[in-house]
Amino acid sequence: MKQMTFADAEYAGKRKQTRKERFLIEMNQFVPWKGLINLIEPHPRATVAVRPIR
């Protein structure tokens, strides 16, 4: 996580929360992220081989 600057900390208390921020806060409360990550993590990630352009 990125450390907040003094300006960020001061601004964070004064501005209004956006709908996106409220949605993400609610999602973090209801979604069991650790369980989902543990379920997904064992699967290998797909790699895409791209040939260089000549």
pLDDT of residue 19: 94
Query: In this structure, how many other beta carbons lie within 10 angstroms of the beta carbon of residue 54?
Result: 3
**DSSP structure string for 1-54:** -PPPPHHHHHHHHHSPPPHHHHHHHHHHHHS-HHHHHHHHTTSPPP----PPP-
Using one digit for the tens of pLDDT, what is the confidence trace for 15-35?
Answer: 788 999 899 989 989 988 888
Using one digit for the tens of pLDDT, what is the confidence trace for 7-17?
Answer: 877 777 777 88
